[in-house]
A and B are shown apart, each in its own frame.
Chain A
Amino acid sequence: MFPWLTLLMLAPLAGALVVAALPARAAANAPKQISLGISLAVLAYVLVLWARFDSDGGAQFAETHVWIKSFGAHYALSVDGLGLAMVLLTAILTPIVILASWHDGDNGRWAPKGMFAWLLALEGLALGCFMAADLLLFYILFEAVLFPVYFLIAGYGGANRKAASLKFLLYSLAGGLVMLVGVIGVYAETAKGDGTPTYLVADLVNHSFDTVPGRLIFVALFIAFAIKAPLFPVHTWLPDTTEAGTPGTNTMLVSVLDKLGSFAMIRFGLEMFPEASQWATPVVIALALISILYGALMAISSQDMMRLIAYTSVSHFGFIVLGIFVMNSQGLTGANIYMFAHGLSTAAIFLAAGFLIRRGGSPRIADYGGLDKVSPVLAGTFLVGCLSLLSLPGLMPFVSEFLVFVGAWREAWWIAAIAAPGIVLAAVYALWMYQRTMTGPVRPELAATKDLDTREIATLAPVIGLLLVFGFFPQPITTLVESSTEYTMSQVGASDPAPAVDGGHDEGSDQ
């Protein structure tokens, strides 16, 4: 059997080593061009995988080898529809981010080639996480992926990079340790029966955990996923981190890595601990609703563009988690598509804002004004980014947000009602940011601002193009995640509530 996925994971990692090993006297553009080439090759490879993927076939391209026998750990990779969607998102965004970060590594603590090497390493490890079919392997990759991000921020970030990157690292590693208890708990529970522990996802989904240990393990895992997602109240690292990170790093962090949290909630939460997930639903939904509203309000009050975008993500992850935990097919499909859509929309706004900040030299919204007259293309792409933040119909996020609302409504009308102001607030923060930066009188010091050059247009064009294409024609992605949604639904044992049922969520989740 051809190791499709191992190759996919190793290609960017090997690329990272090659780029890191380039001699200092190599041409300044060599690391950038090589990284871009590698990431494009990975994208092409993923497209081939997608073409060979059977949408109804469940987990595919599986590779399973025993790794540490006494731990029950395996080196096991496979992708199902949702996994492939995330792999696709990662593969699409990496070349775009590399192209967008062309000059961002020049003022770093280390040579620019380091930044591109870390970006490729990040891609490889993130791909590994989305493909891992063994809990311990996932855990290890989930931890390992922090280090590229740490070095990207600490080495190439802005003014506050040292403290921000440290906060990020410690927050995440502490979450990882809590998760470790859960991971070991899984070992203890599976070892209990016949003394043969296992971490293989395929075995774990069939293992019925006892109620109390199952719930405790679920809580330990969920805390780590919530930190990663990030969900209120463990979101505080995200604004600080994005404030210090480069736009490219932020895109990879929020668009790709944070998806690991929500992805893992489905893969290692709902599917593995259906009973515990249902037990936790009220609390999780409450946290999701708080995230939606709190994130939006904080975004409105933010003075810094990067912080603002970070808070919009807190709000959007609230929607994703809400979609996951209402546990009906609309909500789950919505959440699955939302993960993809949010990756694209966040990339668009982060990168556009990054180009703006590079020109104006300040991340503060108050330092800008009237740029739509000086640099119309920049203003136009920035507007599209803002519109995708507020989920305008015709752009991809709309499809997913709509489905999440349908799902929430089917669970209980008041959940949808509480979440609804999130849409209004989104319009406020997105359009207000646009208005303050782009419209009005031109500031004299910005009068000579150059418009986007070809490279910058080339980075934003594919993102905006995909947002539009999937906005009008989301079928490729919906078909991809459909079988995953059905599988998750069958695992949690929840069927869609009959339309006539109109009551609290308890009725919905108990069916």
Chain B
Amino acid sequence: MTFRAPHIEYFDLLPIFIILGAGVLGVLTEAFAPRARRYLIQTVLAAVGVAAALVFAVISLVDLARNDEVGKIAAEGAFALDGPTLVIWVIVLLLTLLGVMLFAERQLEGGVTSFAGQAAALPGTEAEREASTKGLEHTEVFPLLLFAGAGMLMFPAANDLLTLFVALEVLSLPLYLLCGLARRRRLLSQEAALKYFLLGAFSSGFFVYGLALVYGFAGSMNFAEIAEASAARTGSQGLLLAGIGLMAVGLLFKVGAAPFHAWTPDVYQGAPTAVTAYMAAATKVAAFGALLRLFYVAFGGLRWDWTPMFWVIAILTMLVGSLVALAQTDIKRLLAYSSVAHAGFLLVGFLGVRSISELGPDEIGSVQAVLFYLATYGLTTIAAFAIVTLVRDSGGEATTLDRWAGLGKESPLVAGMMAFLLLAMAGIPLTSGFVGKWAIFAAALTAGAWPLVVVAVLLSAVALYLYVKVIVLMYFGDPTGEAPSVTRPSFLTSGVIGVGVLATLVFGIVPGPLLDFLGQVGVFIR
């Protein structure tokens, strides 16, 4: 047997390598740099690494669009670098850059980051007090963020089952850890991390089992070969269908779709808000990217088998997200349920799948619609959570909704931006949320999924009440007790909010160029 060295397209995969490399350098920094210098080194390293990766991803994407290519299969079939992958890379890297900015914010906690000073110190002990008086910080959060980011780059690009699973774990494990690192309300934070880890590990188990069954059916890990095998319908159908179902569980867990959404509110609430912001935005983008590829490419030929399942899940997800959110009294939990509802809306777009030949020249396709929704929703969400970090009282962030009453008087600017972002989530015209919603509904309706669209619209009306309720509270509620105060952030958090609000506005008014571009590059390579 001759050994052939694997051929790796290093240049095309640069973004992944840069992020992983920066992460490894970050770990080395922890080992060798003196404590006082670490914060500066880590933030600069992370920011520069992500920015460099972003530049390369943008270059590849522009190249792809200019040459009118579909993309290429790289690293011996492990990765597919096509339009959707590169678009998601750009979105994820942009969100990671914003995440680095949120992680690096020090002004809100009076000179330290919002992560635990010494995570190993038990809550309420002398060691913890000591860590906080010394002003200790965990700068490991930056490499962790980068590793998660690298996983999110691999996840949507994975072109075989193994890479998909490895990417899933690479993105998940750092996030489990990050969730438990809050500086305040540490028990809640650790509980969130444990819940996320246990449920996440459980869902990974489902995923691997499904993976094994699909392999058993197709005899290959490769998406294209699975597609071929499933089109030929040789072998045991039961094996394949069970495998698809189990793999769907793993992915639906990550996107936070009902009935696999139970972790979302607890984890979103307990995790440090900067982590929640990053997770809510970027994980959803990456996971939907993987979902699209797996089901459109590998299981595309079996569309009629899996659509009924996703119909049920989409409706259930929207139902749970919109209705349960009504009962929430905490802004982070509320946004968590709202993210569940948005996962449902995204699934509606996902179900607007049609083959390219059915699509008219100027018509909107489901990949294009979902990608647009992901880009705009990610930016809106990260900015909304960034605003949550600003509203504080003596005990840290004031996340109970009661404490948000009268915010409009206290800080018209912050309340105004939050109101705008909430309206975007509600899908009110002149925000990017409206365009996104329109796009996915249109994609689903033209594909004939009109009952789904009707349900989605009805539940949008319910969700609307939810967002308007918060806005009314901010502007017309009377504060109970101590008025909420808005802490002035440094340029880092302000920058995140500014980018998010601006993107929400701009893509609400002139979405044309982005949509057209996504329409051009939104084609999967097989």
Contacts and interface: CB of A to CB of B under 8 A. Distances in A.
Interface of A: 66-72, 109, 139-140, 143-144, 154, 162, 166, 169-170, 173-174, 177-178, 180-181, 184-185, 187-188, 191-192, 194-197
Contacts of A187: 442, 445-446
A70 B512 contact: yes
A87 B465 CA distance: 32
Contacts of A177: 457-458, 460-461, 464
A170 B465 contact: yes
B138 to A, nearest CB: 44
Contacts of B360: 191, 194-197
Interface string B447-466: 00000011001101100110
A71 B445 CA distance: 13
Chain B interface SS verdict (over half): helix
B55 interface: no
B476 interface: yes
Interface string B489-518: 000000000000000000000011001100
B438 A162 contact: no
B476 A70 contact: no
Interface residues of B, number: 35
Task: For the complex of A and B, list the 3 residue pairs with the smallest distance between their C-beta atoms, beginning with the closest.
Answer: A195-B360, A140-B429, A68-B512
B468 A169 contact: yes
Given A162-B472, A174-B464, A195 B441 contact: no
Given A140-B429, A144-B430, A184-B441, A69 B516 contact: yes
Interface in B329-349: none
B445 A70 contact: no
B475 interface: yes
A169 B428 CA distance: 12
A180 B457 contact: yes
A184 B472 contact: no
Interface stretch (B40-48, B228-236, B240-248, B362-370): B362-370
A51 B147 CA distance: 68
Contact of A180 (B361, B438, B515): B438
Interface of B: 359-364, 368, 428-430, 434-435, 438-439, 441-442, 445-446, 453-454, 457-458, 460-461, 464-465, 468, 472, 475-476, 511-512, 515-516, 519
9 contacts: A69-B362, A144-B429, A154-B472, A177-B464, A181-B457, A191-B362, A191-B446, A195-B360, A197-B362
Nearest to A142: B429
A195 B363 contact: yes
A341 B482 CA distance: 52
A192 B453 CA distance: 18
Contacts of A162: 472, 476
Given A70-B516, A143-B429, A177-B464, A184 B362 contact: no
Contacts of B364: 70-71
Given A162-B472, A187-B445, A181 B461 contact: no
Given A66-B512, A67-B512, A188-B442, 8 more contacts: A68-B512, A70-B363, A70-B368, A71-B439, A177-B457, A191-B446, A195-B361, A197-B362
Contacts of A173: 428, 461, 464, 468
Contacts of B512: 66-70
Nearest to A146: B428
Contacts of A180: 438, 441, 457
B367 to A, nearest CB: 12
Contacts of B516: 69-70
Most buried by B among A68, A144, A196: A68
B454 A181 contact: yes
Given A69-B516, A185-B445, A194-B360, A178 B457 contact: yes
B180 to A, nearest CB: 40
Contact of A166 (B363, B430, B472, B511): B472
B515 A70 contact: yes
Contacts of A185: 445
Contact of B428 (A143, A154, A194): A143
Nearest to A141: B429
A174 B439 CA distance: 19
B342 to A, nearest CB: 16
B214 to A, nearest CB: 34
A68 B435 CA distance: 10
B83 to A, nearest CB: 15
A177 B439 CA distance: 14
Given A69-B512, A166-B468, A197 B363 contact: yes
A383 B180 CA distance: 72
A292 B434 CA distance: 36
A67 B465 CA distance: 30
Nearest to A174: B461
Nearest to A198: B362
B461 A70 contact: no
